[in-house]
Chain A
Amino acid sequence: MNAPRAVRRLLRDPLAWIGGTLVLAVVAMALLAPVLAPHAPDRRVSLPGAHDPVAPDARHPLGTDGNGFDVLSRVLYGARASLVTGLFAVVLAMLVGVPLGAAAGWAGGVWDGLLMRLTDVLLSFPSVLLALVIAAAVGRGSLWTLVLAVGIVQVPLFLRQVRASVMTAKQEDWVVACRATGLSPVRTLLRHVLPNCLAPILVLATLGVGSAILSAAGLSWLGLGPPATEPEWGRMLEEGAKYMREQEQWVLVPPGLAISATVLGFNLLGDALRAALDPRLAR
């Protein structure tokens, strides 16, 4: 991996710019939500009782939803929930997957075989279903349920990737040279081999944030996420679905667009990173 050259390639890629802009926009939404939002996301702004969605007007640029919340404010604050879920889920998956994968690839043998069979088992569940069961087991009610469910599902992906990278690196001459100079195996692994495996981990993590946000939105939409008062995009869609066949169909649009744009941003950025870090793939 040649870092400056990869960065230069990344900067030349228009898709990287689109992806980066989308991601930055969502981060800005999350950080600036208190400034940008016209209303508090969890205060009912329309009269209590008659909570039907109110069409967009000057006071509520995107209208209000069936609970009497301002939709624009909730979409802005919802960026926080999505980013937190996506980032922490990937961090969790990396914290478990990277050390286990490195150990499996480095040590090989029985330990490696056992871990591989275990990932085989985890990967033979459709991932949404596995996340669904984990979320149901943890109990309902918070973003952390989603983080845990979605994070565990991603562990095998990191484990396999790191294992493959470490196994490839292990064969290389410079690793043999490290060993020959008397460097301890653990030190060789931590200081020399793992840093060389960073590129694929970075790509996987970027794509992982996108798919984690997507899965978490799905779980939340199925009712396993935070309660309806919390601004969360998947949950907003679940509320909006009640108006599917009526006049107020537009309440479904903003949260869905927000999820799509966020996930698209991470996907484009991840693809561009992959192309920049491994030019052989970018033909």
Chain B
Amino acid sequence: MLAFVARRLLVAVPLLLVVSFVCFALTSLLPDPSVARLGQHATKANIEAFRRSKGLDDPFLARYGRFLAGAATLEFGEDIVRDDGRTIGAGIRERFPATFELALVAMVVAVVVGLAAGSLGAAFPRRVADAFAQVVAVVGSSVPVFWLGFMASLLFAVHLRWLPHPDWSLRTVAPGAAYATRFFLLESVARGDLAAVGRALSHLALPGLVLSTIPLAVVTRMTRSSMLEELGRDYVRTARAKGVRELGVVSRHAMKNALMPIVTVTGLQTGALLGGAVLTESVFAWPGLGRYVAEGVRSGNGPLVVAGVFTFAATFVVVNLVVDVVYHAVDPRLRRAS
């Protein structure tokens, strides 16, 4: 087990280093942040003085070294475009929890619905339920999330008034309480404050459901094909022969064996999910990292964009690492192999 973790880390750490390098190399392609700070009409001398004072003209490797140091401490240096005396990292840390909980809810919805729909389709292939699940999955993956977000909030928040317009802040989730973190949902759960959990979920519902359409199609499909394969195996026939009911065969016998490719695909879908978060957050004015990056792009804040993208990529790499390790710990077949 330890050897496996060590081996995976040995791949992940260099990967993160290269990712950081690519991220940083992209900064040099982005528009000059000093123009964004000083405005279009700044004189050449002003821009040069500003660039010198912020170290923007230092050699490439020196700047990359500073970026790496910034990434290691999660500070990423001061935000020279906003210039409000705070570091870029402070802004990222403030917004990361909102994105994390949104992505978490979306992923849980996608996995639960996808597992159920996919298994149902595999248990009764080529029936109405199977066809329906497949059609919903392909339609869901064809609709742009940002448009789906508009339509869903028009329907559920404006016309039907079933859900509130998402407003993610402590004021709406737990008025008057003092939370230690900005993980409003998780901290409400930890405090056992059910009313706050309910309020948090009601605000997460719209963006979470909308975002879940991105991984849903892939999870449903993978579940269906992986489950179909398992259902054709001998042990499944044995289980049926000894009188286990079909529901039990699918959920207890086949599911465990079918789970491996599903878990892997789910981990990989986190990337698409995090990318979709950029669009979803912008629709719902969600105070997360995705919207922060999108705003950074609009305002020409190159260093912020690169730091945000690196945070996203690093999260993706770490999620896949954790998925791998957890799966290895849980699956006895893999545990023996390593």
Contact = CB atoms under 8 A, between A and B. Distances in A.
Interface string A121-134: 10111111110111
Nearest to B295: A222
Interface of B: 15, 18-19, 22, 26, 29-31, 125, 138-139, 141-147, 150-151, 153-154, 158, 225, 228, 271-276, 278-279, 282-283, 293-294, 297-298, 305-306, 309, 312-313, 316-317
8 contacts: A125-B309, A127-B275, A136-B305, A237-B144, A237-B146, A249-B158, A256-B150, A259-B147
4 residue pairs, one from A and one from B, having the closest CB atoms: A128-B275, A126-B275, A256-B147, A137-B29
A98 to B, nearest CB: 23
A244 B317 CA distance: 36
Contact of A241 (B22, B150, B317): B150
A74 B3 CA distance: 59
Contacts of A128: 272, 275-276, 278-279
A268 interface: yes
> Chain B at the A interface: mostly helix, strand, loop or mixed?
helix
Contact of A256 (B18, B151, B297): B151
A61 interface: no
Contacts of A267: 138, 141-142
A259 B144 CA distance: 7
A137 B26 contact: yes
A129 B275 contact: yes
Interface residues of A, number: 44
Contacts of B144: 214, 217-218, 221, 234, 237, 256, 259-260, 263
Nearest to B294: A222
B138 A271 contact: yes
A71 B15 CA distance: 47
B143 to A, nearest CB: 4
A256 B276 CA distance: 16
A255 B144 CA distance: 11
B125 A214 contact: no
Contacts of B272: 126-128
A84 interface: no
A121 B15 contact: yes
A41 interface: no
A259 B145 CA distance: 11
B146 A127 contact: no
A121 B19 contact: yes
B13 to A, nearest CB: 13
Given A121-B15, A126-B275, 19 more contacts: A124-B316, A125-B19, A126-B312, A128-B278, A129-B275, A129-B293, A130-B309, A132-B297, A136-B297, A136-B305, A137-B29, A221-B279, A224-B297, A234-B144, A244-B153, A252-B154, A256-B150, A256-B151, A260-B144
